[in-house]
Amino acid sequence: MSPTLNLDAAFAALGDPTRRAILARLAKGEATVNELAEPFDLTQPAISQHLRVLEEAGLVASRVEGTKRPRRLEGAGIAAMDEWLAMLRKALEANYRRLDRVLAAIESGKEKK
Amino acid sequence: MSKMTLKTEGDKHVVVTRRFAASPEALYRAHTDPALIQKWMLGPEGWTMPVCINEAKPGGKIRFEWSNGKGQGFHLTGEYLELEPYSRIVHVERMHLPDPTPDNHVETRFDPQGTGTLMTMRMTLPDAKTREAMLATGMEHGMEASYVRLEGIL
């Protein structure tokens, strides 16, 4: 599945401080559910539930290592969010480039007075 | 070389900054004079703002209507809370898509910097969920052209 299809889920997933903290932890490297649960005052099932939301949003992936399933950041999902924010920046920047021209006209009009 | 930054802050804020080679006074006028607003606050190529009501006084009404000339459009309404010429504007706004989005509280500052001006726009949404929804979908209507362009590039 293309990660761009999960943008709504990805932004919704980020609307929770615990999930943002989990992503920040995973940005430092792989971690198991137990390792992730440690810094939070949360049970392992609660962390697992957050991880499920992040996995469904395409932001976190896992692999099997014996009985453990270490989680890591899913680069493609993160990149899709980056692209979206880049587009927002682009549309705003188009406005501001027009504003540059409007301002130049105001300032040159002032000089002529 | 982009002079603009757009970032989230805390749970509920989005902060946009941009430097301009103009005085705070010129920026303030470009943000408050309807005839000037209609020249630049347009989003992607091809969109216009046929209706621009902008009563720049505390309690004054804001109404911007955008159109792509092909029958698609949306509008924004709001109210001014505080105006300090030529340094600070505080207003609330909401998009109508067509249902109104939750209020976005916006503080815009124009600070002299060197020979130009640093604009800082700080948006405050009611909660984290609303902010993420705004970033994810709220500006989608105005984004179509950029989206199509991006798809062409990828």
The DSSP annotation for A12-68 comes to: HHTTSHHHHHHHHHHTT--B-HHHHHTTTT--HHHHHHHHHHHHHTTSEEE--BTTB
Residue A113: inside a domain, yes or no?
no
Tell me which residue in B2, B30, B129 faces A15 most closely, judged by beta carbons: B129
Other CB atoms within 10 Å distance of the CB of residue B46: 12
Residues of chain A with Cβ-Cβ distance to B76 below 8 Å are none
Q: Return d(Cα A57, Cα A32) in angstroms, integer.
A: 19
- Residue A76 lies in domain: 3-84
Asked if residues B120 and B4 have their Cβ atoms less than 8 Å apart, the reply is no
Check residue B16 and give its pLDDT.
86
Check residue B122 and give its pLDDT.
95
The three-class DSSP label of residue B138 is helix
Check residue B1 and give its pLDDT.
35
**Chain A touched by B118 (CB under 8 Å):** no
Interface test with B, best of A2, A81, A82, A92 (most B CBs within 10 A): A92
Check residue B123 and give its pLDDT.
93
Q: Return d(Cα A18, Cα B91) in angstroms, integer.
A: 31
Q: Return d(Cα B110, Cα B24) in angstroms, integer.
A: 5
Amino acid at B96: H
Q: Return d(Cα B150, Cα B134) in angstroms, integer.
A: 20
Chain centroid offset of residue B113 CA: 22
Residues of chain A with Cβ-Cβ distance to B29 below 8 Å are 106
Residues of chain A with Cβ-Cβ distance to B4 below 8 Å are 89, 92-93, 96
State the pLDDT confidence band at B137, using cuts at 50, 70 and 90: low
Other CB atoms within 10 Å distance of the CB of residue B23: 19
Q: pLDDT tens across A38-55, in order? A: 888 888 999 999 999 999
Number of domains in chain A: 1
Query: In this model, does residue B117 exceed pLDDT 90?
Result: yes
Check residue B141 and give its pLDDT.
40
Lowest model confidence (mean pLDDT) among A43-57, A75-89, B30-44, B110-124: A75-89
Burial class (CB in 10 A: 0-12, 13-18, 19+), A105: middle
**For A97, nearest residue in chain B (alpha carbons):** B40
**Chain A touched by B53 (CB under 8 Å):** no
Q: Return d(Cα B75, Cα B93) in angstroms, integer.
A: 10
Query: In this model, does residue B140 exceed pLDDT 80?
Result: no
The domain locations on chain B are: 5-153
Check residue A111 and give its pLDDT.
58
Cα dihedral sign, B29-B40-B82-B62: positive
Shortest Cα–Cα distance, B134 to chain A (Å) = 9
The side-by-side arrangement of strands in the sheet containing B48-54 is B5-9, B13-20, B116-124, B104-113, B88-96, B73-84, B61-67, B48-54
Query: In this model, does residue A24 exceed pLDDT 80?
Result: yes
Residues of chain A with Cβ-Cβ distance to B133 below 8 Å are 11-12, 15
Q: Where are the beta strands (DSSP E) in chain B?
A: 5-9, 13-20, 48-54, 61-67, 73-84, 88-96, 104-113, 116-124
Residue A90: inside a domain, yes or no?
no
Question: How high does pLDDT run on average in chain B?
Answer: 83
Whole-structure pTM over 0.80, yes or no?
no
Shortest Cα–Cα distance, B29 to chain A (Å) = 9
Tell me which residue in A14, A88, A104 faces B6 most closely, judged by beta carbons: A88
Check residue B69 and give its pLDDT.
85
Query: In this model, does residue A3 exceed pLDDT 50?
Result: no
Q: Return d(Cα A100, Cα B26) in angstroms, integer.
A: 10
Check residue B145 and give its pLDDT.
38
Tell me which residue in B36, B39, B44 faces A94 most closely, judged by beta carbons: B44
Q: Tell me, what's the ipTM?
A: 0.76
Give me the percent of chain A exceeding a pLDDT of 70.
92
Check residue A6 and give its pLDDT.
67
State the pLDDT confidence band at B42, using cuts at 50, 70 and 90: confident
Residue A27: inside a domain, yes or no?
yes
Q: Are residues A12 and B132, on separate chains, in Cβ contact within 8 Å?
A: yes
Class of domain B5-153: alpha beta
Check residue B153 and give its pLDDT.
31
| CATH number for the domain harbouring residue A68 | 1.10.10.10
Average pLDDT over residues A84-89: 72
Q: pLDDT tens across A28-38, in order? A: 889 999 999 98
Q: Return d(Cα B135, Cα B132) in angstroms, integer.
A: 5
